[in-house]
Structure 1
Amino acid sequence: MDQVSLRDVRSYPRLDLALEPGLVLITGPNGAGKTNLLEAVHVATQGISFRTRQDAQLVRRGAAEGSARVAGARGEVRIETEVRLSTREPKRIRLNGAAVASAEELRSRVHTLAFTPDRLAVVKGGPATRRAYFDRVLARALPARAELPAAYGAALGQRNAALRRVAGGLSDAGALEPWTEQVVTLARELVEARARVLELLAAPFAERSAELGLSAATLDYDAEPPTRESLDARLARDLERGTTGAGPHLDEIRILSGDRDLRTFGSQGEQRMAVLSLLLAEAELLASHGGVPPLLLLDDALSELDADRRRRLSERVGSVGQTLITATGAEALPLAPAQLLAVTPGEVRPG
């Protein structure tokens, strides 16, 4: 990515910014707009914000619409994306001048990975947060199976609705049959796909974690998809509760260091290292599959890391592709960046 253009997005009334390849360090005091800049780049490359799903909140206060555009290259191929936002109308997305039907389609063609402090929830949050995170990784790493989580969720919703109708006397038990069959089939495929993506992540995750000083890091997913027999055996309980009580929608994925589950027994620093290691592992996986490393957006990633870990992280993200990283001061980065930018409210200038 070598050019960013923003119009009335968050704190930027107008911004035209040239970027160097490699590691770009963005500095400025808290509240200056560093995160807003990364968010705008994420919107332009992924069609969505990493902070909100309300597009109207992205438009600068007092404006009716805004736009975020980036130009650059994926390998040898030039690309230009533009996302137009409005407080009144649906957003419009274009890739190389052609309309793109959805943010999902844009994300399937342009890869951007983001770290923000609230991503620590991947480790410290509940099982649903981890399932959602790894299902997003699944969609990027195994595009042929990208629809599995949504397809399983839709079949599960239909079965749950059928359970409530049967329990209420509005349908007979035969109404459950087609949805039970779909849930069993899709559950098996989803568990297999999750296991496969975790297998692909395992080695790079362990390597990047060790590099950052988190020893013996592993991903644990020991799941068994429900069978027709197991669902039939628990039918009375499912009818009573109106929900399907077994399946990959309830599975746990544990992030470990040795025999310690980092959700419960990890420090804040270890949780941060685990999330950063997951992001780096996914970046390697996408690069190995597609030949092009993804764009990395790291917001406040260096805080809570000691000088040695900051150096290791900087060396890693500076060695391939392009990374935009924010910090309150240039001293946070142990290495010289390819480009240093300073942010003041509504303005970005060379640092």
Structure 2
Amino acid sequence: MYLEHLSLTDFRSYAQVDLALEPGVTVLVGYNGIGKTNLMEAIGYLATLSSHRVSSDAPLLRFGTERALVRARLVRGTQTTVLELEINGSRANRGRINRSNPVRARDLVGICQTVLFAPEDLALVKGDPSNRRRFLDELLASLIPHHAATRSDYDRVLKQRNALLKSARAGRFTSAHESTLEVWDQHMARAGAELLHARLELVERLRPHLARAYAELTDASKPADATYRSTLQNQMDDDGVPAGSSPRAKPGGSSDGPDDLRLLSVDQLTERYIQAFAESRKKELERGISLVGPHRDDLELMLGQAPAKGYASHGETWSMCLSLRLASYYVMLDDARTGGSAPILILDDVFAELDVQRRRKLAAIVSGAEQVLVTAAVDADIPGELSGRRVKVVPGGIDEQ
């Protein structure tokens, strides 16, 4: 799959811009602040309904406007698909597929598949657990689109349950509170179990690819791995650090005996959550928040025997971030071999952050992708392995060369 045409209206700095693209490597060159990243951000947003730069939609709208439009024409084999996404400041976003009637924005998820590398990826290692949870959930939705609804349903139930806990904390915990909380426990346990089950399966798919990608980038002796930390095994503190003295889970999110969550079905995980809610009831009422669930889990990234966070050097941190993105690319390629689509690779200002060795290795790995979109301030930042079409980005638009 590749992106043949991108059109933006009132998105970020662009009142209107059209960009024709083709398979292979395209490098967008322009000085910093000119709007290169805005173009890449729009493609990434079309794929995941989220920005890699901001947490809300408001900054995506050109200042003084109330909506932005992202249009894209995708080609897969002999099939062409036109996607349109309307980003609204005051109401729900809407989408169109092949100029059909408007649909929910999330119905577009999974059609345009991308893997986006960006300097902001450092947060995957150095940032708080929410960055890593988001990484997993966005990849899940790209691979299996209905998981976008799974996460949305869980967030909705979590919000309602937290509101009830806060209400109970503010007043006296009555029998009415208790019976209502039990109902929300059931809803949240089921939604949480479905999300946890999907994440655990995804982590198992990612782990071998993560090890492979890190070895390809670094030739390092320390292997890269990932461990899923669930609140069903250890309650987490506000920084995502396991609290208490429960045993550490083995790589992949398991520990000895019954704590190997990968062996449990959704129904069994649901029962585990209901039990965990009951055990945490007193503490949750004291704090007025839900302390158990996927919203407090973490994906711990490991280099050798040590966590990457806090122990990895700057170079190792960058390599781990790149390896995570490459692992997600390899997982998508696995799906492409059984009927899925190979993703569009987007490297937004990444090469300027890397040393010469890592530049060359990353370029060699991605150069064979069906479509690679790269941004850079100067041509000198781009390794020779990524020779291809050059597009000059100028204030407010594109200067085709």
Q: Pick which of 59-68 and 340-349 moved more.
A: 59-68
> Aligned partners of 1:124, 1:292: CA distance in 2, in Å?
31
Task: Give the AA of the match of 2:137.
Answer: D
Gaps of 5+ in 2: 233-271
Partner residue of 1:340 out of 390, 394, 397: 390
What are the residue-to-residue correspondences of 1:66-215 with 2, within 5 Å?
66-84=68-86, 91-167=93-169, 168-169=171-172, 171-172=174-175, 173-213=178-218, 215=222
- What's the counterpart of residue 40 of structure 1? 42
> Aligned partners of 1:92, 1:181: CA distance in 2, in Å?
31
> Aligned partners of 1:62, 1:97: CA distance in 2, in Å?
27
Query: Displacement of 1:116 after TM fit?
Result: 2.2
Partner residue of 1:219 out of 221, 226, 242: 226
- What's the counterpart of residue 349 of structure 1? 399
Partner residue of 1:275 out of 296, 308, 321: 321
> Is 1:287 matched up with 2:287?
no
Change (3 A) 1:56 1:179: closer
Change (3 A) 1:120 1:100: farther
String of CA shifts for 1:184-231, please: whole Å, max 9, x gaps: 333333322211110011111111111111541111114363544443
> Is 1:263 matched up with 2:309?
yes
Task: Give the AA of the match of 1:9.
Answer: F
Residue 142 of structure 1 contacts residue 197 of structure 1 at CA under 8 Å; is this kept in 2? no
> Is 1:305 matched up with 2:351?
no
Residue 25 of structure 2 contacts residue 387 of structure 2 at CA under 8 Å; is this kept in 1? yes
Change (3 A) 1:176 1:218: same
Q: Pick which of 263-272 and 3-12 moved more.
A: 3-12
> Aligned partners of 1:233, 1:71: CA distance in 2, in Å?
52
String of CA shifts for 1:156-196, please: whole Å, max 9, x gaps: 33333333444523631333222223333333333222111
Query: Displacement of 1:140 after TM fit?
Result: 2.2
Query: SS of the counterpart of 1:67?
Result: strand
Residue 131 of structure 1 contacts residue 251 of structure 1 at CA under 8 Å; is this kept in 2? yes
Q: Pick which of 140-149 and 28-37 moved more.
A: 140-149
Residue 191 of structure 1 contacts residue 224 of structure 1 at CA under 8 Å; is this kept in 2? no
Query: Displacement of 1:258 after TM fit?
Result: 0.9
Change (3 A) 1:9 1:193: closer
Query: SS of the counterpart of 2:302?
Result: strand
> Aligned partners of 1:158, 1:9: CA distance in 2, in Å?
33
> Aligned partners of 2:165, 2:103: CA distance in 1, in Å?
35
> Aligned partners of 1:90, 1:153: CA distance in 2, in Å?
17
Q: Percent identity?
A: 33
Query: Displacement of 1:347 after TM fit?
Result: 3.3
> Is 1:252 matched up with 2:298?
yes
The alignment's TM-score, normalised by the length of structure 2, stands at 0.78
String of CA shifts for 1:8-53, please: whole Å, max 9, x gaps: 4333344333222112111121122211222233345555544346
> Aligned partners of 1:165, 1:87: CA distance in 2, in Å?
30
Query: SS of the counterpart of 2:354?
Result: coil
Query: Displacement of 1:336 after TM fit?
Result: 4.2
Query: SS of the counterpart of 1:110?
Result: coil
Query: SS of the counterpart of 2:110?
Result: helix
Query: Displacement of 1:73 after TM fit?
Result: 0.4
The alignment's TM-score, normalised by the length of structure 1, stands at 0.87
Residue 46 of structure 1 contacts residue 103 of structure 1 at CA under 8 Å; is this kept in 2? no
RMSD between aligned residues: 2.8
Query: Displacement of 1:288 after TM fit?
Result: 2.2
Query: Displacement of 1:88 after TM fit?
Result: 7.0
Residue 94 of structure 2 contacts residue 105 of structure 2 at CA under 8 Å; is this kept in 1? no
> Aligned partners of 1:99, 1:72: CA distance in 2, in Å?
19
Query: Displacement of 1:137 after TM fit?
Result: 1.9
> How many residues align structurally?
351
